[in-house]
Amino acid sequence: MRHLLDFSGWTRARVDELFQTARAMQGVLARPIKQVPALKGRTVATVFFEPSTRTRISFELAAKRLGADVVSFSGATSSLKKGESIKDTLQTLAAYGVDAFVIRSAAAGVPHQATRWVEASVINAGDGRRAHPTQALLDAFTLQEAIGPLKGKKIAIVGDILHSRVARSNAELLGLLGAEVWLVGPPPLLPRRGGFFGARVTAELKEALKGADAVMALRIQKERVSGGRLPSEEDYRARYQITEARLALAKPDAPLLHPGPMNRDVELEGALADGPRSLVLRQVENGQAVRMAVLYHLLLGRAA
Ligand code: CP
């Protein structure tokens, strides 16, 4: 595994191996001094052309916890503003000796293109509405911690499915792990032709939540919606917000996830986000260990 762009070519065995390394990384993060020298002398560049809090910070911390040097590039304050191209930007950074690029872009396919422009490893930190593989990895890891092996488990993903790279990557990865994935949202925010990676697609919230082993709420991607497809927040809340009463349709104690950022009291009731069934902050915490594992596997070519 040289790059992480999506899950094409992945097997369950590879996911298991990566999660084993992530559990070892949880051990590192539980120590008083949360650092090992595994990647000492290596350089990781985070290159974000779109805003981020969780992905960027957790990748930068993950690299530092492994002893790597970190270069943090932000499109908004760079020579991109003077007209430099993305290709020239990445090749300029590569000339400093970067070993891994962590790239987020509004346009789909930029991380794939980058693999042709630079020799270093490339990690997709979210490209348009196409893929966000490390988010799906940390979601699956967190789900396994909470409800055990995912084979045969019903996972309901609720919200703006059409514009969500998280929905796509989760459908791909959770499907690979044998889960039964349901994608549910307002009809204008559902994929028009079929679903993703064999997931079931419905506009019927009750059908998707009934007997679910876990529920994941997604943000409406206002920045990616075009052509007046956006339902009003009021309408969305009335029909699709995850409330205590709606969550009662799922299995007792079924956990609630949200990849963030969250619009409080829109996708889910604020009290649920802070409640005992919420794994929202556990997802954030696990993001660091999972991203440490990804960097370790890509840069050292083996499991911990
Ligand atoms: N979930 C996620 O990708 O969050 P950020 O946009 O804050 O990185």
Give the number of the atom of ligand 1 that is nearest the alpha carbon of residue 55. Answer: 8
Confidence band of 227 (pLDDT split at 50, 70, 90): low
In this structure, the answer to whether residues 173 and 229 fall within a common structural domain is: yes
Query: Is residue 223 included in any domain, yes or no?
Result: yes
In this structure, the answer to whether residues 184 and 228 fall within a common structural domain is: yes
Query: Is residue 3 included in any domain, yes or no?
Result: no
Distance CA 3, CA 115 (A): 8
Q: What percent of the chain has pLDDT over 90?
A: 90
170 lines ligand 1 (CB under 6 A): no
Give the number of the atom of ligand 1 that is nearest the alpha carbon of residue 51. Answer: 6
Q: Which helix (H) or strand (E) holds 208?
A: helix 205-209
In this structure, the answer to whether residues 21 and 119 fall within a common structural domain is: yes
**Are the CB atoms for 79 and 89 separated by under 8 Å?**
yes
In this structure, the answer to whether residues 92 and 141 fall within a common structural domain is: no
Q: Distance, CA 167 to ligand 1 centroid (Å)?
A: 13
Q: Distance, CA 110 to ligand 1 centroid (Å)?
A: 17
Q: Among 147-161, 175-189, 210-224, 240-254, where is mean pLDDT lowest?
A: 210-224
52 lines ligand 1 (CB under 6 A): yes
Q: Distance, CA 288 to ligand 1 centroid (Å)?
A: 13
In this structure, the answer to whether residues 104 and 143 fall within a common structural domain is: no
In this structure, the answer to whether residues 147 and 256 fall within a common structural domain is: yes
pLDDT the model gives residue 37: 98
Distance CA 132, CA 75 (A): 19
In this structure, the answer to whether residues 140 and 267 fall within a common structural domain is: yes
In this structure, the answer to whether residues 172 and 210 fall within a common structural domain is: yes
In this structure, the answer to whether residues 34 and 150 fall within a common structural domain is: no
142 lines ligand 1 (CB under 6 A): no
Give the global pTM. Answer: 0.96
**Are the CB atoms for 184 and 158 separated by under 8 Å?**
yes
Distance CA 39, CA 57 (A): 18
Q: Distance, CA 111 to ligand 1 centroid (Å)?
A: 17
**Average pLDDT over every residue of 177-206:** 92
In this structure, the answer to whether residues 90 and 122 fall within a common structural domain is: yes
Provide the CATH number for the domain around residue 79. 3.40.50.1370
Q: Distance, CA 43 to ligand 1 centroid (Å)?
A: 22
Total tally of structural domains belonging to the chain: 2
Query: Is residue 1 included in any domain, yes or no?
Result: no
Joined tokens for residue 273: 């986000």
53 lines ligand 1 (CB under 6 A): yes
Distance CA 97, CA 43 (A): 7
Query: Is residue 108 included in any domain, yes or no?
Result: yes
Question: Residue 258 to residues 68, 216, 246, 268: CA-CA distances in angstroms?
Answer: 29, 5, 16, 9
Confidence band of 222 (pLDDT split at 50, 70, 90): confident
Confidence band of 230 (pLDDT split at 50, 70, 90): confident
Query: Is residue 2 included in any domain, yes or no?
Result: no
260 lines ligand 1 (CB under 6 A): yes
In this structure, the answer to whether residues 155 and 207 fall within a common structural domain is: yes
| Average confidence score pLDDT of the chain | 95
Q: Distance, CA 56 to ligand 1 centroid (Å)?
A: 8
Query: Is residue 5 included in any domain, yes or no?
Result: no
Q: What percent of the chain has pLDDT over 70?
A: 98
Q: Among 133-142, 185-194, 267-276, where is mean pLDDT lowest?
A: 185-194
Distance CA 253, CA 172 (A): 25
Query: Is residue 254 included in any domain, yes or no?
Result: yes
**What tens digit of pLDDT does each residue of 94-112 get?**
999 999 999 999 999 999 9
Q: Distance, CA 125 to ligand 1 centroid (Å)?
A: 9
In this structure, the answer to whether residues 153 and 224 fall within a common structural domain is: yes
Query: Is residue 180 included in any domain, yes or no?
Result: yes
Joined tokens for residue 244: 């205590």
Answer yes or no: is pLDDT of 132 > 90.
yes
Answer yes or no: is pLDDT of 220 > 90.
no
Confidence band of 226 (pLDDT split at 50, 70, 90): low
159 lines ligand 1 (CB under 6 A): no
Task: Give the residue whose CA is nearest to atom 3 of ligand 1.
Answer: 55
Print the domain residue range for 196.
Answer: 133-273
pLDDT the model gives residue 228: 65
